């Protein structure tokens, strides 16, 4: 142990004891910023008016309105769903500043063309037919320069400018993707999509030239995706290239950009350097990426990115902590992971055969027996920039367990208390040793989970949570069948009747409280996202191997939110409510139905053909009992008489009774 600690101290920078604490990312504003509030009626009309005449001539007025209605809905869902950063003004202004530099003159007057940054750790970006451009924080953390960001924006603007989403919709409406047995619809859609991407690349090049960015920025953008593709290929033994299903291969796209540059004799050095603002925001984005990957249970991706960031900043406690937690949580759910090779257990090496060909073989050694940039989505030149070369000069560990122990010692050297708590939680099988580290954690002044650690130390985890159930109503989606169309009702209107009906059903049980999640989304976005993470976990299949999985050991934040809301069991309720519309298959009837609010649908009496699918899932922190609760039992036909609110409340009451009985049995 003394030798290992010596290595830790000698390998880290001399400013070891002056480190900042773990950066847990931003705490966003709890209420939606005005820029995220968009009128549904205005956006629908805007999209409809924005359809060029050449496309209007190819479809019915009803189909055109349906397109505008659906695109407005999807856009507003993104803006109001809590996943757009809501208060990070510097990031918002910077990304939109680059957009304004890249955007062509003819699009500047488009009211809704704007950029939004999404709380998602995966590297991706997309643009909606409304003109709303979204880029994941995971993409910002991956790119290397402002020119890369400009390349992404230019490409997505080109999709909007060339009307690719609208064109696909029109072709689908006219059955143009049906190509017979030899060229089926899937192949037709794939070919269409790949051609769209290449056209958008060419158009993006024009945008970048005009804005003063070199095309190498666009090439480097695709290099990010190529590294992702190469990493994926290293997990597949018999696959050597990614099929071009919706996008061309990144390698092909990079070659095309280089050909454009060569034709214009453009130097790769023509790109402007990264600004100080870009570097600062990218650094801040990295903590956000790790936070959302961990919260989304993407432990392997979190570990790979945390370790990659750690290689360039080895004494940054944020990356050490997230590496520890990604290992701990994945091994908590599957104890066999402790003995797996660190970062290498699921990957192949490419080796040369005697005949001069190549084959893939499972990595026989360990991650550090040679530099493997592909697994970390790095290029082969990255090693020269790595600060922590000591991992290859003198490997410190080979398995996940050894890596975890090493990172804990690094965290201890950095005096990071959250690494001490992580270590304590990894010892849940040994209460005596666990408590020793809990006491050490509680001795720090500034810690994140003091109440939790005290309760765990004093065996008060279960006692601290009231033995009450919290029924959380998340969403009701009325779907109205009209001819061949399923029209989703999405205008909120007056939500109070629905809230009251669901609350009355839930609180008819003495030990139940009620939470209406759509209301929380408007008043407390951060808690809304925490509940959304819990709900997402309740839906996931739990493949745990080892000791019984307990929610508070997996993530102490879940225990804290349960304590704050006074419950030891959460039940999430989601519904799809089906009804039928009458009248001719016309634009007027579609408009009438699409303008319904939930109240318009549920307030009706004496309706035939009403059905509801009610999905219930939940989680609990209970000493003796299952972690997860589920109740999916098909579609319920509702009575022809009575208000929809009353009938829905009856269904919820029966479902809750059934859920309680199943757990008792």
Other beta carbons within 10 angstroms of residue 483's beta carbon come to 14
Alpha helix (H) residue ranges in 313-375? 317-333
Q: Cα angle vertex 455, ends 453, 456, to 5°? A: 65
- Binned at pLDDT 50, 70 and 90, residue 99 comes out as very high
Please give the pLDDT value at position 273: 53
* pLDDT one-digit tens code per residue, 113-123: 999 999 999 99
Please give the pLDDT value at position 175: 81
**How far is residue 19 from each of residues 107, 281, 283, 370, measured CA to CA in Å?**
46, 19, 16, 30
What letter would DSSP give residue 84?
Answer: B
CA distance from start to end of the chain: 51
Query: What are the boundaries of each domain within the chain?
Result: 2-24+283-445, 34-270, 469-664
- Binned at pLDDT 50, 70 and 90, residue 9 comes out as very low
* pLDDT one-digit tens code per residue, 591-622: 999 999 999 999 887 667 789 999 999 999 99
Confidence check: pLDDT of 3 > 50: no
Other beta carbons within 10 angstroms of residue 197's beta carbon come to 18
What percent of the chain stands above pLDDT 70?
93
Please give the pLDDT value at position 179: 54
String of DSSP letters for 624-660: SS-SEEEEEEEEEEPPSSS-HHHHHHHHHHHHHHHHH
Rounded to whole angstroms, how far apart are CA atoms 365 and 341? 9
- Binned at pLDDT 50, 70 and 90, residue 643 comes out as confident
Q: Are strands 469-482 and 512-516 parallel, antiparallel or unpaired?
A: parallel
Q: Please count the residues of the chain.
A: 665
**384-412 core/surface letters (b: 16 or more CB in 10 A; e: else):** eebebebbeeeebbbbbbbbbbbbbbbbb
Please give the pLDDT value at position 48: 96
Residue 334 three-state SS: strand
- pTM confidence score: 0.92
Please give the pLDDT value at position 217: 84
Rounded to whole angstroms, how far apart are CA atoms 331 and 341? 12
Nearest to 57 by CA among 138, 173, 147: 173
Contact yes or no for 150/211 (Cβ under 8 A): yes
Please give the pLDDT value at position 176: 77
Contact yes or no for 328/425 (Cβ under 8 A): yes
**How far is residue 624 from each of residues 217, 462, 548, 550, 627, measured CA to CA in Å?**
57, 10, 10, 11, 9
Please give the pLDDT value at position 1: 33
Rounded to whole angstroms, how far apart are CA atoms 480 and 487? 5
* pLDDT one-digit tens code per residue, 361-417: 898 889 999 999 989 998 888 888 999 999 999 888 999 999 999 999 999 999 999
Please give the pLDDT value at position 665: 74
Q: Are strands 611-620 and 628-637 parallel, antiparallel or unpaired?
A: antiparallel
Please give the pLDDT value at position 14: 40
Residue 521 three-state SS: helix
Rounded to whole angstroms, how far apart are CA atoms 403 and 367? 11
What percent of the chain stands above pLDDT 90?
65
Alpha helix (H) residue ranges in 212-275? 216-233, 250-263
* pLDDT one-digit tens code per residue, 160-174: 999 999 999 999 888
Confidence check: pLDDT of 227 > 70: yes
Compare 368 and 267 and report the one with higher pLDDT. 368
* pLDDT one-digit tens code per residue, 432-445: 999 999 999 999 99
- Binned at pLDDT 50, 70 and 90, residue 633 comes out as low
Contact yes or no for 339/402 (Cβ under 8 A): no
String of DSSP letters for 422-471: HHHHTTTT-HHHHHHHHHHHHTSSS-S-HHHHHHHHTT-TTTTS-S-EEE
Please give the pLDDT value at position 185: 65
Rounded to whole angstroms, how far apart are CA atoms 662 and 388? 54
Please give the pLDDT value at position 364: 87
Nearest to 470 by CA among 502, 430, 437: 502
- Binned at pLDDT 50, 70 and 90, residue 544 comes out as confident
* pLDDT one-digit tens code per residue, 645-663: 999 999 999 999 998 888 8
């Amino acid at each position: 142990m003394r030798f290992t600690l010596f290595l830790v101290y000698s390998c880290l920078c001399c400013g070891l004891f002056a480190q900042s604490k773990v950066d847990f990312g931003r705490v966003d504003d709890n209420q939606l910023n005005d820029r995220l509030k968009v009128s549904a009626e205005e956006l629908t009309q805007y999209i409809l008016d924005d359809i060029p005449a050449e496309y209007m001539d190819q479809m019915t007025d009803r189909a055109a309105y349906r397109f505008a209605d659906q695109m407005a809905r999807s856009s507003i869902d993104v803006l109001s769903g809590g996943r757009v950063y809501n208060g990070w003004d510097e990031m918002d202004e910077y990304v939109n500043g680059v957009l304004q530099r890249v955007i062509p003159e003819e699009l500047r007057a488009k009211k809704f063309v704007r950029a939004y940054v999404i709380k998602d750790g995966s590297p991706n970006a997309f643009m909606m037919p409304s003109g709303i451009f979204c880029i994941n924080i995971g993409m910002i953390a991956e790119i290397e320069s402002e020119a890369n960001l400009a390349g992404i924006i230019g490409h997505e603007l080109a999709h909007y400018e060339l009307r690719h989403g609208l064109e696909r919709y029109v072709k689908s409406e006219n059955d143009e993707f049906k190509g017979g047995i030899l060229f089926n619809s899937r192949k037709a859609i794939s070919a269409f999509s790949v051609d769209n991407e290449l056209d958008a690349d060419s158009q993006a090049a024009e945008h970048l030239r005009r804005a003063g960015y070199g095309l190498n920025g666009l090439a480097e953008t695709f290099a990010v995706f190529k590294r992702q593709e190469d990493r994926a290929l290293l997990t597949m033994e018999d696959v050597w290239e990614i099929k071009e299903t919706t996008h061309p291969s990144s390698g092909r796209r990079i070659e095309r950009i280089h050909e454009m540059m060569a034709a214009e004799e453009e130097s790769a050095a023509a790109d402007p350097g990264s600004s100080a603002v870009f570097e600062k925001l990218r650094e801040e984005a990295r903590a956000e990426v790790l936070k959302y990957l961990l919260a989304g249970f993407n432990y392997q991706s979190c570990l790979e990115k945390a370790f990659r960031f750690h290689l360039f900043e080895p004494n940054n406690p944020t990356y050490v902590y997230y590496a520890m937690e990604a290992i701990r949580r994945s091994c908590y759910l599957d104890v066999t992971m402790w003995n797996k090779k660190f970062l290498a257990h699921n990957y192949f090496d490419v080796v040369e055969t005697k005949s001069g060909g190549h084959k893939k073989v499972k990595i026989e050694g360990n991650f550090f027996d040679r530099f493997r940039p592909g697994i970390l989505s790095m290029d082969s030149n990255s090693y020269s920039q790595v600060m922590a070369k000591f991992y290859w000069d003198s490997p410190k560990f080979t398995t996940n367990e050894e890596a975890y122990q090493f990172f804990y010692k690094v965290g201890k050297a950095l005096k990071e208390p959250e690494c001490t708590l992580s270590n304590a939680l990894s010892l849940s099988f040994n209460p005596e040793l666990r408590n020793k580290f809990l006491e050490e954690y509680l001795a720090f002044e500034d810690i994140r989970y003091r109440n939790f650690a005290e309760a765990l130390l004093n065996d008060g985890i279960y006692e601290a949570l009231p033995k009450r159930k919290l029924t959380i109503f998340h969403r009701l989606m009325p779907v109205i069948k009209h001819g061949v169309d399923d029209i989703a009702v999405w205008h909120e209107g007056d939500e109070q009747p629905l809230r009251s009906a669901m609350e009355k059903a839930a609180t008819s049980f003495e030990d139940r409280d009620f939470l209406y999640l759509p209301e929380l989304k408007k008043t407390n976005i951060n808690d809304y996202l925490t509940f959304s993470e819990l709900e997402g976990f309740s839906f996931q299949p739990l493949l745990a191997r080892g000791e019984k999985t307990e929610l508070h050991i997996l993530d102490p934040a879940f225990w804290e939110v349960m304590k704050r809301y006074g419950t030891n069991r959460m039940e999430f309720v989601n519904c799809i409510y089906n009804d039928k519309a009458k009248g001719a298959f016309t634009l007027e009837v579609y408009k009438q139905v699409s303008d319904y609010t939930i109240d318009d649908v549920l307030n009706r009496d004496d309706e035939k053909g009403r059905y509801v699918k009610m999905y219930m899932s939940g989680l609990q922190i209970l000493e003796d009992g299952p972690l997860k609760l589920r109740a999916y039992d098909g579609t319920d036909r509702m009575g022809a008489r009575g208000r929809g609110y009353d009938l829905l409340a009856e269904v919820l009451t029966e479902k809750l009774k059934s859920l309680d009985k199943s757990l008792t049995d």
